[in-house]
Structure 1
Amino acid sequence: MLQVLKYFVFFVLIINNSVSAYPKDSGDESQEIGKPAVYDNYRLPTSVTPENYKVEIFTHLNDSEGFTFRGIVEITLNVNEFCDNITLHAKNLTIDTKKIVLTEISENEALKIRNVELMPKHDFLIIYPQKILSKFRKYIVKIPFEGSLDTDLVGYYRSSYYDKEFKKRVWLSVTQFEATHAREAFPCFDEPEMKATFDISLAHHKMYSALSNMPLKETKAVDSIQDFVMDTFETSVKMSTYLVAYCVSDFEYKEVSMKDDVTFRIYARREAMNQVDYAADVGPKVLKFYEDYFQIKFPLPKIDMIAVPDFSAGAMENWGLITYRETALLYQANASTLSAKHRVAEVIAHELAHQWFGNLVTMRWWTDLWLNEGFATYVASLGVAHLHPEWKSFDEESVDNTLDIFKVDALKSSHPVSVTIGHPNQISQIFDAISYSKGSVVIRMCHKFLGEKGFRFGVSNYLKKHQYANTLQDDLWDSLTESSHEEQSLSRSLSVKDIMDSWTLQVGYPVIEVVRDYDTNSATLTQSRYVSDRYTPRSELNSCWWIPLTYTDSYRKNFTSAAAQDWMTCNKDKEGIEKKIDNLPDENNWVIFNIQLAGLYKVKYDEQNYKLLVETLNSEDYNIINVINRAQLIDDAMDLAWVGRQDYGIALDMINYLKRESEYIPWKAALDNLRIVNRLLLRSPLYGVFKAYMRHILKPIYAKLGGISTVPDSSELHIVKHQAMICGWSCKLDVGDCIKRSVEYFNTWMVETEPDHINPIPLNLRPCIYCTAVRNGNEKQWKFLWQRYVNSNVGAEKSMIISALSCAKEQWILSRYLEWSLNSTLVRKQDASIVFGGVARDEVGFHLARNFFFERIDDIYSTLFPDTSRLTRYIKPLAEQMSTQKELTDLKDLVAKKAKEFEKSTQGVKQALEVVELNNQWKLNNYFSLARNLNRMIDPESDMITEESLSDELTTTESILV
């Protein structure tokens, strides 16, 4: 009797556990026990998880064979609970379900399969065995598959290049699996938490070689196919499917070995091998820096870095086989600018940081993508600063990221850093500035208030504790709290989670209003959310943050320490909205908050403090204020004027001091803000006044930097970037001899007998000079530059040229260029949006681009498919130029009409529509005020525009806007 009861209980457990993997709909009571309900969750059930994959793939890179791949995957499975099926992912694969084999390892018994089902809605492949799968037992499932090597830049796809020596097109195959594209290469459990080891074997023609995450173990001839070999690679470490990578190509490589036997190889097409030396130098150095910084050795025996001609992302951090666009890995001294070199260093440092943060320790789900991208972005800036201290790039990158986020995160359509992800088709939309730049900025802020030891030890402990596993952001906060308490860099009454949740779990950032009491030498601080929409209800601004306060004054002038001096708290009851600061100086001395932009917040001062700051900036002692804070003051003033929280007069009074300023960062802050105003005034009657103002402030700095005749030292990155930026503005607005000298340079180049080998134009000014010559030329200049694009062998140079070609003023040339952007034989698929964006942002090309987008949306969609989230790259540059109600209505109508086309770009579309609304709002509210202040700044003694004429212009503009 006891034995019978035991089997009865066992049978009931089996049935109940089987049902739990596919739970019933709550309203359906008629289902039979043991009959699985329809599983309609986009996440995989966890009843079965992978332990190891053996993947064998045959790759056919030949026109006659139709560019296909076929293979078999053998997955060792762990059964975590009794269940009646195996659910995994497969997409765009042909699978002969009759050849699927399921075996229980302990019994070495093949189980009969009663059904195989595909669920396209969630890319599920569901295998139903005849018998219930037993808990704690292991099984092996073998699944054959076939697929096409398409050119869509995701999954397992094909790329190509033209071999000029042999005059033929050469094909290669490569993977791009992040975020959910491994399922398009082989059936798998395609979620980051489903980690496993991988044994990869790649069969291919012997004229090619193969790469994967791990070193090559052996190569054997394939008896069944003539001239084919099978490359088998060593077993990988435990990792997520999105980090699996393999490639078949005829590429060559350069090898560099580190002292601890980690081997670096840089792969590229043969004609580009002269461009790999810089990457070969940078890679090992930055890897060693991270090993020391994280106190964890790199766990693999090798790293291959490969430059892929057709690649959608900038780069991808696949463990041990990092893939790059050519522009992000290759560098040639006589053709790539210093900015391009900095970009290569930055991307390599970013991807190598991922080998720890993302690969070794991985987020559980894409909600915490920012843990990967934000941290890699921040640590990459540390890595580049270590490699090239002479560039002084760390502060510049930190400020750039912060000022960028101030614009993006001020939109009501922004999203939290840690964003809830529903269906996987939403994942691609969060690979954006919030995940990368804001993620980086909040990590930097955390680094500042924890101090070096508290931060560094916490990160190292986090990585050691969770290596080869998956985490939530709270796991990082726990490690940082523990280390900072040990180092006493954070009060034991505080936790990093309390502080950082306010920055990662809610949208936006605060503005602190500082109102000084000059009788008591104190100040009252209040915080509220900063939003670009001035009509946002007050109730929507009442968010609060834990804000690390830093400040100094004109007595102390202490801009060196960015450690928190005090806190604005944010408890559950919202205490901390207001705070009082004592021991400030008297009414004759200014105060400045947020030293070195250590925190992600803006500051608004009272009128007297602004007056003191403006006086100091416009004096000979302007540089007693830290250079980063000079940029901060300009950016905050411009943004506060945008929403009407102060007059544009204060912002322009601050910008006026730039006639003395020679540093890049404040100029960058000013010109980035003025670029937005430039766009909005471009087609208005006020543009002539604005143009005169811009020429007024640019003339001194153009002369100070030596125009475009003086070439700065190539090691001075900030000077090179500064000169290039001033050149771009000066040539566009006809300042000094900028246009004249640019045209002369270009004409000299055009008469060279070998223009592809001899270029007299200063290297770091080529983007500016190319654009200026094309804008002030005709078809002759355009065709000459196009031919240089076709002939160039350097990715960075091609990218520079493809942007400059959009500067043409002939509408028929721009129309033809837009058409060419949809032809992948002329413009690579990855570069199509660059062409469109360049045309859309130009004053001549905007209407052409707008019409092209509205009329050819179906063709653009087809070109981008399946990665249609990149439609955001088309709608964004258009929205930036739009400011009328009609333009907003037309854009909304298009989005509604083409809902399917935009379904993977919903976040970008929301932001684009909001930008148009804000542009319209700004013109209606700020046009008249800005006009008066611009007129005053150009010549205080004259009336270039009278009050009466301004009123007439405003009336005209309002009628246009409405």
Structure 2
Amino acid sequence: MATDRDVLPDNIKPIHYSLSLYDLEHGGAFSYEGQVSIDVKILKSTKEIVLNTHQLKIHEAEVKITKTEDLHKASNISYDAPRQRAIVSFDEDLSPTHNAQIVIKFQGTMNQSMAGFYRSRYKPTVPAAQSVARDDEYHYMFSTQFESCDARRAFPCFDEPNLKATFDVELEVPEDLVALSNMPEKEVKKSSKSNFKIVSFERTPIVSTYLVAWAIGDFEYVEDFTRRKYDGKSLPVRVYTTKGLKEQGRFALEHAHQIVDYFSEIFGIEYPLPKVDLLAVHEFSHGAMENWGLITYRTTAVLFDEKTSDARFRNRVAYVVAHELAHQWFGNLVTMDWWSELWLNEGFATWVGWVATDYLHPDWNVWSQFVAEAVQTAFQLDSLRTSHPIEVAVKDALEVDQIFDSISYLKGSSVIRMLSSHLSQDVFLKGVGDYLQKHKYGNATTNDLWSALSKASGQDVNTFMDIWIRKMGFPVLTVAEEPGQISVKQGRFLFSGDVKPEEDETIWWIPLGLKTGPKAMDANAGALTTRENTIRDIDDSFYKLNANQNGFYRVNYPPERLVKIGEAKDKLTDEDKIGLIGDAAALAASGLGTTPALLALVENFRDEENYLVWLEILTRLGNIRSIFSEDDEVSKGLRRFTLTLISPITDKVGWEFKTGEDYLTGRLRALLIATAGLVGHEGVAEEAKRQFNAYTSGDKSAIHPSLRSAVYRIAVTEGGKEAYEAVRSDYATTTSIDGKDVCLSAMGRVQTPELAKDYLDFLFSPAVAVQDVHSGGMSLGANAKTRAAVWEYIRDNWDSKIYSTLSDNMVVLERFLRTSLNKFANYEIEKEMSSFFGGKDQRGFDRGVSVISDTIKGNAKYKERDLPIIREWIKAHGYANPMSSLKL
């Protein structure tokens, strides 16, 4: 047993759970009673059984020896609350046996923490069933969220991923409500309680506790069937919602049945359960959860209204549906052995989720999106000293939640993409299929995956991938030129730019991905496996490393070469362009390059028409404007630069959505209008205000759904308190599934500390769901005019509002802090934060605090170093002139 894990004693092995929940109190206390019978093997003689519980009360417990019918009643039940355990003690030894059953009666609460068995509030849009739990304003549904370690909040259990068992679930619910679980209904019978029924479900396959699920509510569904036959018949695929919303599940439904068939084919293993249910949950701390056979989703990740939803949510729904369905094999059928290998679940599901999205939507250019969003976000965290390896030591439950981050998901998926590109996707998926087949219904490790891939490919995958998984950070390749050849040298990249020798000892396996010559042909340059090497036969007219940004590393070209590559951008794929711009921006921040070099590079992209390339450009320019926002001259100059850069394409794309227009052009329009309006384009700002005024005056057709976010953000920025209050009013009344997200983001564009404080008071009021608090914090934190007010508010209201509201779910607390505070570029603020949090119990969010500190110090160092040269560049290139009006 690994000594770095705080795990349960190894004297008990669970085999099967029979779980019954009853006396569900649907109002007031929201309590319930339960009984769980656990068939176990007793492996060592013991006088106590230790299992996981959290916020449960055990009434009584006993052990039955099924062969001898011996009965041992517990003599004492005690709790180790910090370790989330219950200790059930007996007067006599329990002897080793394979035929024991633990029977526990207990009481729990359907909490509001979005963890365990919990309740979600919502406002009904149609008449509801009589017995729906409700108060004066809201109705409630009930569902579970057990990953990573919250099954223990719902029932006493052995809550570790490698302690798998089968489950029988039985729920006593009102007759007019729907009960769901992992498996189909087995039987429905009348309860002894009037107007109640008892719903029992088929037995699950062997499964980890974190994947068990159930839900109770006033549900309806839309249904389709797989086209592929499973044991001779098509499987039912359903999207469940609370009543009145089911039609918004059709977009997800159309994807779900196709994806189940697609994964069954490419993995070579058929979907293993008899049904697939997707459930929209109104309050949800994550994006979605892959419970086997009953996948739960935040509403904006599974519902889409063709008439009122922003088109960008098409992409979100398609991808998240695919990601969670990938888990039905990779994570559920085969589960990581321990949470340190979380990346096995999340990294793979992220990558293959994009594979499936690309399969269904080849016109969406999803791999460019992956490079612009996933790869660049992973780089950002992994360039900090406070990053962590993909495979990271995890001691216990509170540490697990903090690694559900962009390293496990996005760096994990990025290195999988790198490996798949190297081996070829077909070979890679053959190895994955072999891995799943060998370990199905069990647990596996990273080395098990490498072994399967090595066998499928004939290459020693472990040799070149082990370092990528077990070492934090990533390399930058520094290029030096000589006639007809280049030398490349690898070293660790840090955002702060001050790598110490002891931090730069890793030698990565780096696939070079070289393109060279007038036609940018692939050159077989192999991989760099030493500190440095020379590559010959380079055509000096053009070359580029890391083709299509397949490798997880950055490239530092000589300044003159960067200019030449920018001038030859017609030879670059969209992924190449995004990678080139991202590299230049990161190198400028670290001091290995300069911001003027980045600005000169992006000037070459005035005529660019690809949405995802523009997304990368404008994200980078927005970050630079944020870091240098305290210098008024530079701030205005950077806004003028951005405005000059985007005005031609903004003019061209315009406001009108044309019939038959492709999806990405619509996304580009929304991006350009939002950016232009926020950097001072008078024409765009005036039209946005006109549409906003018409919309808020009652003309709900005045704003295209895909421009609502852009228009709202511009309106609040320009319109002050009146516009802010209009958006806040819309938040309270919107029926659009993405309406609350749009409003929260826009309200964060307020321009005064007073309105920022008002908004924060609103965020931490009962009017706003806890799941949404971080969205508002992210918007305020990214806003140079309000981020100081956010820090002041957190500091002054930590105990009374921040911690008390968010600490029941550390995922939400840590996310709120990161997104609210990581945009500062001020050493003094960082010292204040370090002092403040240093005096707090940081367990459960300490990693986030360290990331914030590291990020702020890096931002401050960047600002200190590049401010003078940016000021000079702005003056020399005419961007220091007063802002002039541009009409559109």
Sort the TM-score into its range (normalised by shorter chain).
over 0.9
Choose the corresponding residue for 2:556, options 604, 617, 624.
604
Aligned partner (choices 641, 664, 673) of residue 727 of structure 1: 673
Contact 1:403 1:669 in 2 (8 A): no
In structure 1, which of residues 557, 561, 568 is the aligned counterpart of residue 528 of structure 2? 568
Q: Alpha-carbon deviations, 1:501-533, whole Å to 9, x = none? A: 111100111011121221xx2222110000011
RMSD: 2.2
Find the counterpart in structure 1 of residue 133 from structure 2: none
Q: TM-score, normalised by structure 1?
A: 0.87
Residue identity in the other structure for 1:360: L
Cα deviation, residue 62, structure 1: 2.8
Distance in 1 between the 2:863 and 2:73 partners?
A: 71
Conserved? CA contact 1:192–1:363, under 8 Å: yes
Is the CA contact (8 Å cut-off) linking 1:374 and 1:440 kept in structure 2? yes
1:920 is matched with: 860
* Stretch deviating more after TM superposition (855-864 or 127-136): 127-136
Q: Write out per-residue CA displacement over residues 68-117 of structure 1, whole angstroms, 9 at most, x where no aligned residue.
A: 11110000001234444322111111112xx3121112212213544433
Question: Which amino acid in the other structure matches residue 657 of structure 2?
Answer: V
Q: Equivalent residue of 1:737, what SS?
A: helix
Larger radius of gyration: 1
Distance between the aligned counterparts of 1:253 and 1:174, measured in 2? 16
Worse overlay, 503-512 or 804-813: 804-813
Provide the residue aligned with 1:532 in structure 2.
495
- Shift in alpha-carbon separation, 1:647–1:271, aligned structure 2, 3 A: same
Measured at CA, do residues 59 and 624 of structure 1 come closer, stay the same or move farther in structure 2, by a change above 3 Å? farther
1:787 to 729, 736, 750: 729
CA pair 42-501 structure 1, distance change in 2 beyond 3 A:
same
Listed as ranges, the matches of 1:135-174 within 5 Å are: 135-166=96-127, 169-174=138-143
CA distance 1:711–1:181, shift in 2 (3 Å): same
Structure 1 residue 594 and structure 2 residue 594: aligned? no
Number of the residue aligned with 2:188: 219
Report the residue type matching 1:264 in the other structure: V
The structure 1 residue matched to 2:461, chosen from 480, 489, 496, is 496
Distance 1:41 1:882 in 2: 36
Determine helix, strand or coil for the equivalent of 1:237: coil
Q: 1:904 to 1:850 in 2, by over 3 A?
A: same
Alpha-carbon displacement from aligned partner over 1:821-856 (angstroms, at most 9, x marks no partner)? 1122x1111111212222232233223222211111
CA distance in 2, matches of 1:453, 1:849: 49
Give the one of 794, 800, 806 matched to 2:742: 800
From 216, 235, 254, give the equivalent of 1:248: 216
CA contact (8 A) 2:144 2:213 kept: yes
Offset of residue 195 of structure 1? 0.2
* 1:441-590 correspondence to structure 2 within 5 Å: 441-485=414-458, 490=459, 495-518=460-483, 521-558=484-521, 565-569=525-529, 576-586=530-540, 589-590=541-542
Residue 48 (structure 2) pairs with residue 107 (structure 1): no
Question: Does the CA-based 8 Å contact 1:803-1:838 persist in structure 2?
Answer: yes
Which residue, 629, 639, 642 being the options, matches 1:691?
Answer: 639
Identity %: 28
Pairing 1:610-689 to 2, within 5 Å after superposition: 610-614=562-566, 616-617=567-568, 622-685=569-632, 686-689=634-637
Alpha-carbon distance between aligned partners in 2 of 1:932 and 1:391, rounded to the nearest angstrom: 40
Q: Amino acid of the residue matched to residue 852 of structure 1?
A: Y
For 2:79, what is the secondary structure of its paired residue? strand
Contact in 2 for aligned 1:879/1:915 (Cα 8 Å):
no
**Contact 2:639–2:680 at 8 Å: present in 1 too?**
no
Residue 848 of structure 1 is aligned with which of 782, 789, 807?
789
Tell me by how many angstroms 1:208 deviates: 1.6
3-state SS in 1 of match to 2:619: helix
Please say if residues 781 and 821 of structure 2, whose CA atoms lie closer than 8 Å, have aligned partners that are also in contact.
no
Moved more, 332-341 or 53-62: 53-62
Partner of 1:132, secondary structure, is strand
Query: What letter is aligned with 2:592?
Result: R
CA separation in 2, counterparts of 1:258 and 1:656? Answer: 49
Gaps of 5+ in 1: 1-20, 24-38, 570-575, 946-962
The equivalent position to 2:831 in structure 1, one of 879, 884, 889, is 889
Write out per-residue CA displacement over residues 7-41 of structure 1, whole angstroms, 9 at most, x where no aligned residue. Answer: xxxxxxxxxxxxxx9x9xxxxxxxxxxxxxxx997
Instruction: Name which of 147, 153, 159 aligns with 1:190.
Output: 159
Deviation string, structure 1 residues 895-954 (Cα, Å, up to 9, x no partner): 022x22x32111110010111111211122111112222333346xxx869xxxxxxxxx
Structure 2 distance, partners of 1:209, 1:514, is 63
One-letter amino acid matched to 1:54? S
**Equivalent residue, structure 1, for 2:83:** 122
Whole-Å separation in 1 of the counterparts to 2:434 and 2:42: 32
Asked if structure 2 preserves the Cα contact closer than 8 Å seen for 1:198 and 1:237, the reply is yes
Contact (CA 8 Å) 1:69, 1:147: kept in 2 or not? yes
Residue matched to 1:700: 648
Compute the displacement of 1:749 (Å): 1.8
Q: Which secondary structure does the structure 1 equivalent of 2:245 belong to? A: helix
Q: Deviations over 1:748-773 (max 9, x none)?
A: 22333xx5xx3221221111011112
Query: How far apart in 1 are the matches of 2:659 and 2:846?
Result: 45
Gaps of 5+ in 2: 128-135, 883-888
Cα 1:349–1:714 change in 2 (3 A) is farther
2:877 to 913, 937, 958: 937
8 Å Cα contact 1:90-1:187 kept in structure 2: yes
1:391 aligns with 2:364: yes
Q: Which one of the candidate residues 212, 230, 237 is aligned to 2:198?
A: 230
1:558-580 deviation line (CA, Å, top 9, x unaligned): 26x9xx741112xxxxxx11122
Give the conservation status (yes or no) of the 8 Å contact 1:208–1:249: yes
In structure 2, the residue matched to 1:382 is 355
Change (3 A) 1:465 1:822: same
Matches within 5 A, 1:738-749: 738-749=684-695
Q: Alpha-carbon deviation of 1:792?
A: 2.1
Relative distance call for 1:855 and 1:747 in structure 2 (3 A) is: same
Residue 188 of structure 2 aligns to a residue in which SS?
Answer: strand
Secondary structure of the residue that 1:78 maps to in structure 2? strand
1:556 CA displacement: 4.2
Secondary structure of the residue aligned to 2:521 is coil
Alpha carbons 1:698, 1:735 under 8 Å: kept: no
Alpha-carbon deviation of 1:717? Answer: 3.0
Aligned residues: 867
| Whole-Å separation in 1 of the counterparts to 2:661 and 2:408 | 31
| Alpha-carbon distance, 1:216 to partner | 0.6
Give the whole-Å Cα distance in 1 for the aligned partners of 2:722 and 2:487: 63
Aligned partner of 1:595: which letter?
Answer: A
Look up the equivalent residue of 1:137 and give its one-letter code.
H
Superposed displacement of residue 871, structure 1: 2.6
Tell me the residue number matched to 1:46.
10
Q: 1:734 to 1:458 in 2, by over 3 A?
A: same
Segments of 4+ moved more than 6 angstroms: none
1:751 equivalent in structure 2? 697
The separation in 1 between residues aligned to 2:223 and 2:589, in whole angstroms, is 53
Kept after mapping to 2: 8 A contact 1:390/1:715: no
CA distance in structure 2 between the partners assigned to 1:248 and 1:584 by the alignment: 65
**DSSP 3-state at the match of 1:411:** coil
Name the CA distance, whole Å, in 2 between partners of 1:40 and 1:446: 29
Amino acid at match of 1:592: K
Q: Residue 527 of structure 1 aligns to a residue in which SS?
A: strand
Report if the CA contact (8 A) 1:271-1:793 is conserved: no
Give the C-alpha shift of residue 59 in structure 1: 4.8
Measure, in 1, the Cα distance between the counterparts of 2:752 and 2:425. 55
Note the C-alpha offset of 1:608: 4.7
Task: Tell me if 1:834 matches 2:763.
Answer: no
